[in-house]
Chains A and B, each alone.
Chain A
Amino acid sequence: MNPYYGFITPAILLIILLLLAPLAWLIGLSFENEGQLSLHWYREVVTSGGIRSMLWTTLRIVAITTVIALILGYLVAFAMAHVGERQRLLLTLCVLIPFWLSVLVRALSWLILLRNNGLINTGLMETGLISSPVTLVRNETGVIIGMVHFLVPYAVFPLYAAMRAVDPRLMMAARSVGASSWRSFIDVYLPTTFPAIFGAGMLVFIFGLGFFVTPSILGGGRVVMLSEYVSVTVLQTLRWSLAGALSVVLLLATAALLYLIGKVTNLRKMLGAA
């Protein structure tokens, strides 16, 4: 017996006993209705109009967020990979500071900016561009802005790592056979960085699906996404079995997406990079 098994035992036991077993308990609850083994709650998830529309809202918001975060992240990563040292450092700061900033501080900042009597609306009204405040928060717009802001750094890191690894000779070769910058970008650079784009997109999507704080604060109870719905289900209506079934849905979606990332890129490397 390898003596190093003793080293991993405490951590593994902690996770098995206090995370995996509770998780199994939660999943077990989802198959129970009035003391009987049943798929009732899964049927409820599929048939209930309210849940279906909540799931649809979640998917829509996360999909839009992912696309925007990827585009913005690609731009920043591309600039970071191809500008001088000093600009790269400053851009890195712009990405790292929000990345490390508490999610609550960020949600608060957006709330201050986007509220009806917030800075953006006040500014726009004082300059006379609008006569009444535009609703920017407590709706999908606010949630998407806040989530994009949170998730862009998660897209930048893997994209930047992939771009640094692109062999510059590849681009020189494309240029030397007569391709324009744009053409060589589209035909060579973009496909080369595609695995990273896919991986980063999936990572952002997974984070977005499980997101709780930003949608709860910026959605203001009007835009309810999956995580908040689950928490309301338990804390307010005490429907543990339904919460369990929704958790299983969220878990399966996460697992499937992780599997897809694993197929295209090196998952451990990506998690380490993030």
Chain B
Amino acid sequence: MELSRRGQILVAGLAWLVGLFLLLPGLITVPVSLNESRFVRMPKEHLSLRHYQALFSDPGWFSSFLDSLSIAVAAGLLATILGTLCAVGLWRITGRLVALFGALVLLPMILPPVVAALAMYRTWVALNLYDTWIGVVIAHTIIALPYVVITVTTSLALLDSRLEQAARSLGASPLRTLRDVILPNIKGGVVTGAVFAFIISWDEIVVTLFISTRAVYTLPRRMWDGIRENIDPTVAAVASLLMAATVIGVVFALIYSVRKARAQARSH
């Protein structure tokens, strides 16, 4: 829509204020993590890496990092396999039940986190999954599943379903069709889904709080305790590293998507 010059400046100015409100608070952890004292505050005289040193020399933080990493890899992998299969299945199944199944796989995303956490907590205790690595992996797989199904479904929507019919009519089994015909065409969606699933699990806190205590102690869980009990500047160091990873990830993803959009525009 057209705006007057003044209107444009006003709208852009206000939007930028909101943009900075969104962006800046996260950055605050960086200077705080570089402060020389043992308190959470801005650096006064000189910068210091002592909180990073504390972070890297602490076996507790390291084992939490490993817990989170291994759980996110396992849950991401499981969610990607189950979610991709499910999306392809839903794509080829017709009938009234499809809507029901579709809603069912979206359920973990729609359910309020605390409700899912309570339901799982009770069940995990009953099944001896409470505070076990595999228990957390299963819970994270369930939570990440809808994100994979959605991204894969999106890329399937661009795929001509006659390809699948052709493969099947030539005698390929559904699995063979999946491997040789469908998967190569939806690679992008599957990879995106896997990245989503990994991040969802890596970041998950509410359900994890309920279904684990100390035997499995993920990074978010340790951060949660570090923030709630008495803010420890080491948490600011962890937060800064997560902030840096997020900025790098988002910038790369944005550059990639802009390049892709440009390449597509050129090829048309």
Cross-chain contact A76 with B112 (CB below 8 angstroms): no
**Complex Cα spacing A113 to B118, Å:** 32
1/0 contact trace for B138-149 toward A, CB 8 Å?
100110010001
Would you call A15 and B246 a contact (CB within 8 A)? no
Q: Is B156 interfacial (CB 8 A cutoff)?
A: no
Report how far A25 CA is from B4 CA in the complex, Å.
Answer: 60
Partner of A105, one of B29, B121, B154: B29
Q: A181 CA to B111 CA in the complex, in Å?
A: 42
B49 beta carbon closer than 8 Å to chain A? no
Contact B220 A91, beta carbon cutoff 8 Å: no
- Asked if B191 is an interface residue, CB under 8 A from chain A, the answer is no
Contact of B174 among A7, A110, A231 (CB under 8 A): A7
B121 touches A234 (CB 8 A): yes
The reply to whether B23 and A189 contact each other, CB–CB distance below 8 Å, is: no
Residue of A2, A15, A105 most packed against chain B (CB within 10 A)? A105
Q: Which residues of chain A (143-163) have a CB below 8 Å from chain B?
A: 149, 152-153
Tell me whether B227 and A230 are in contact (CB under 8 A): no
Interface presence of B2 (CB below 8 A): yes
B106 and A109 form a contact (CB under 8 A): no
Taking CB atoms, residues of chain A closer than 8 Å to B163 are none
Residues of chain B within 8 A of A82, CB atoms compared? 1, 3, 8, 11
Number of interface residues of B (CB under 8 A): 93
A75: chain B residues at CB < 8 Å are 11, 14-15, 18
Q: Once bound together, how far apart are the Cα atoms of A245 and B53, in whole Å?
A: 47
CB distance from B261 to the nearest CB of A (A): 11
A197 at the interface (CB under 8 A from B): no
Does B231 count as interface, using CB distance less than 8 angstroms? yes
The reply on B194 being an interface residue by CB < 8 A is: no
- B174 near A4 (CB under 8 angstroms)? yes
Chain A residues closer than 8 Å to B223, beta-carbon distance: 102, 104-105, 108
Inter-subunit contact A243/B249 (CB<8 Å): no
Taking the nearest CB of chain A, how far is it from the CB of B63, in angstroms? 18
- Nearest Cβ distance between residue A147 and chain B, in whole angstroms? 13
> Do B243 and A105 touch (CB < 8 A)?
yes
B1 touches A185 (CB 8 A): yes
Q: Assess the A254–B110 pair: CB atoms within 8 A.
A: yes
> In the assembled complex, which residues on chain B have CB atoms less than 8 Å from the CB atom of A119?
28, 42
Shortest CB distance A57–B (Å): 16
Cβ contacts under 8 Å, B93 to chain A: 2, 4-5, 8
Q: A96 with B250: in contact, given A10-B85, A15-B107 (CB under 8 Å)?
A: yes
Q: Are B114 and A113 in contact (CB under 8 A)?
A: no
Q: A250 on the interface (CB 8 Å rule)? A: yes
Is B22's CB under 8 angstroms from A153's CB?
Answer: yes
Complex CA gap A244/B122 in Å reads: 11
B142 pairs with A96, CB closer than 8 A: no
Asked whether, in the complex, the Cβ of A181 is within 8 Å of the Cβ of B105, the reply is no
Give the shortest distance, in Å, between B225 (CB) and chain A (any CB): 10
Residue of B nearest to A207 (CB): B112
Check if B120 is an interface residue, CB within 8 A of chain A: yes
Q: In the bound complex, do residue A95 and residue B22 qualify as a contact, i.e. CB atoms below 8 Å apart?
A: yes
User: Which residue of B is nearest A95, CB measured?
Assistant: B22
Assess the B18–A22 pair: CB atoms within 8 A: no
Determine whether A14 belongs to the interface, using a CB cutoff of 8 Å to chain B: yes
Q: In whole Å, how far is A80's beta carbon from the nearest beta carbon of chain B?
A: 7
* Complex CA distance for A2 and B101, rounded to whole angstroms: 15
At the interface, yes or no: B7 with Cβ under 8 Å from chain A? yes
Known: A5-B89, A95-B22, A152-B22. A271 touches B150 (CB 8 A): yes
Q: A94 contacts B20, CB within 8 Å?
A: yes
Instruction: Give the top 5 A-B pairs by smallest Cβ distance, nearest first.
Output: A210-B112, A7-B89, A79-B15, A94-B19, A8-B89
